[in-house]
Amino acid sequence: MMDQALWRAWVIKNHLTLDPSPQTRSLSGAPCLDYSLLELIEPASFDIAAMRALLDGHNVPERDWLFGLMTQSKLFNPRRVGSRVFVAPDYNQSMEQQRELTMRRIKFLLEKGVVDGWLTRGTVEEELRKFALQEVADIYDHSLAIKLGVHFFLWGGAIQFFGTERHHVKWLRDTENYVVKGCFAMTELGHGSNVRGIETVTTYDPRTEDFIINTPCESAQKYWIGGAANHATHTVAFSQLNINGINQGVHAFIVQIRDADGNICPNIRIADCGHKIGLNGVDNGRIWFDNVRIPRENLLNSVADVSPDGEYLSAIKDPDQRFAAFLAPLTAGRVSLAVSAIYSAKIGLAITIRYALSRRAFSVAPNQPEVLLLDYPSHQRRLLPLLAKTYAMSFSANHLKMIYVKRTPELNKTIHILSSAFKASFTWHNMRTLQECREACGGQGLKTENRVGHLKGEKDVQSTFEGDNNVLMQQISKTLFAEYLAARKRNEPFKGLGLEHMNGPCPVLPQQLPSTVLRGGQFQVDAFRVRERDLLNRFAEEILQRQARGERKEHALLSSYQLAEDLGRAFSDRCVLQNFVEVEENSPAGSLRDMLALLRSMYSLTCMEEDASFLRYGYLSTENAAAVRKEVAKLCSELRPHSLALVNSFGIPDAFLSPIAFNWVEANSWSSVQH
């Protein structure tokens, strides 16, 4: 201990001494740092291509095709740094320049056939292809992905799902070919997550068979509408529909906002939302409607219609059920955001872990080389649990996409709840991951060209986009409470949402947790089920007790927000683990399956360590919680030799990472500056 203390004191003295000794001043014993190709010193122990196939899930050749198109086109800003070429937008450009380049890139994708069939071929295969190519666009630039998403998933999706054949025939082909440029006007200045509260009002004039859409007050202006500020020609406007003095609730209408020459249409006012902390390639705008007249046929009428003489028609008489049916198709946006968050976390981790495998800091003994960052246990602890979580969530993102593209009316509730849970959990995970990666890269993490820090600003919006994450968690718990009440009222078992485990006896967790138990899949699944079951029971009992004391159900739900958020996370974590176990079980025995088992254990035990519910409600004793913590540290050391192979399995081409992921000495050399 004394020798170690003296050594550390010597190191600190040499750092701080202004007039070092001649021996310290000499460079002969301290050669310059150099870079070694990581793949030569960190070989893979499993099949990287097979792991990538599991992670991407589908359409790997199409993904690589689009990566290649982008890499080869000057439109995607290829830039040589040292001996490598990287592609990334130039974020030093003005907001206006970024917006115009985003549209030029979309035109390029259109010409190359990337978006062919995105709206006009409704097969499962085509929907998966659309997701895959959208994900590649997002790896390049979030603005590009959002512009595509607004046009195809939101505007185009609204036409597909809210409209009927007359709308499909008139709008879908022109939307796919960008003859029509669409946007999606739901959010207002005064209402975001609370869609039912929006204030835009539409009435009907039977004499002319027109709808009249109006912005009655400033808080009703449409806000944050992607595409509205510069490029969109049409929008789907969400509005309260008032027929003969009766409010029939929120409906969607097609409204033209610009002509073919880009001129704003009469009785439409548009303003720019201005510069943002990210996504400046997206022209977010604000829209006011001043008694704009639109044809009766512009009501998207799959759920409800208005006859020529002004009669309101809908097969769904209950307003709540009508509203739910109306919003059910919008889950595509949340599915896309959940997936986007995971690919962003992959970028951050791939860059940061590669950097940590070549960057050194401090020696632990005299005359010894400095230590690689990732050989420090503390650095492993910062990054490798996040890596395991990213793997786990990637498998669940694929599961969500698969049930979405194969959706049936019976699956609508499951898709809605899973997309809400995963969107919230995955976007929170992404922001935490990017922050940790930014710090783990030190000063290099601040450089825009190294992507990690800049991605934080680009992806921050996802925490509130398509629903505030905290609100979504409470919605999930509210749905689980409804399932609880329904099962209790009917005296029938739980069915759906993975809650069938509630029907059997509650698992009993072992009191002693050696490593073999902690790493067992059954123990991990049991622990997650115990937590979810108990939290649902506690949440239901608390609400029912509040109601018994005279509180209204809505107030009781709001007052129980802490349990609601705990339950929402428990539901999401259990679903993620369940999907991970399925992927692992379907993989053939061998090194890849062994690696999945390590990652699954890291994911499960990290969740147990981080969620205070396990201690708060006694699912783990303090001794067992300490055992979990120690096991996570062991798993870090076991995953460390595989870290490079694990991030290479993400399948992100080198050109889409950043200079510090490779030879950062060369990238920062004087010759690179001159070049």
Annotated binding site: 187, 226
Does the annotation mark 492 as catalytic? no
Whole-angstrom distance, CA of residue 39 vs CA of residue 169: 53
CA separation, residue 517 to residues 381, 509, 512, 624, 631 (Å) = 22, 10, 8, 11, 11
Whole-angstrom distance, CA of residue 206 vs CA of residue 244: 11
- Residue 101's contacts (CB-CB under 8 Å, 6 or more residues apart) are 75, 89, 93, 281
- Residue 143's contacts (CB-CB under 8 Å, 6 or more residues apart) are 89, 98, 102, 279, 280, 281, 282, 458
Whole-angstrom distance, CA of residue 493 vs CA of residue 332: 30
Going by the annotation, the residues of the binding site for FAD are 187, 226
Per-residue tokens: 4: 């170690």
Whole-angstrom distance, CA of residue 493 vs CA of residue 505: 12
Per-residue tokens: 169: 């025939």
* DSSP characters over 75-102: GG-EEEETTEEEE---TTS-HHHHHHHH
The catalytic residue among 42, 127, 176, 466 is 466
Is 226:184 a contact under the CB 8 Å cutoff? yes
Q: How many residues does the chain have?
A: 675
Whole-angstrom distance, CA of residue 354 vs CA of residue 307: 63
Per-residue tokens: 584: 């692992």
CA separation, residue 143 to residues 63, 445, 540, 614 (Å) = 18, 21, 42, 39
> In the chain, what is the straight-line distance between the N-terminal and C-terminal CA atoms, in Å?
50
Whole-angstrom distance, CA of residue 416 vs CA of residue 330: 9
CB neighbourhood size of 402 (10 A): 14
Place of tokens 């036409």: 159
CB neighbourhood size of 545 (10 A): 12
Beta-strand relationship, 234-243 and 246-256:
antiparallel
CA separation, residue 525 to residues 248, 536, 608 (Å) = 45, 16, 11
The residue among 560, 563, 543 whose CA lies nearest residue 551 is 543
Is 484:533 a contact under the CB 8 Å cutoff? no
Place of tokens 């996409």: 401
Whole-angstrom distance, CA of residue 14 vs CA of residue 362: 12
Query: What φ, ψ does residue 507 adopt, rounded to 5°?
Result: -60, 150
DSSP reduced 3-state for 400: helix
Whole-angstrom distance, CA of residue 123 vs CA of residue 471: 33
Whole-angstrom distance, CA of residue 659 vs CA of residue 349: 14
Is 463:444 a contact under the CB 8 Å cutoff? no
Per-residue tokens: 163: 């409209």
CB neighbourhood size of 242 (10 A): 15
State the catalytic residues.
Answer: 466
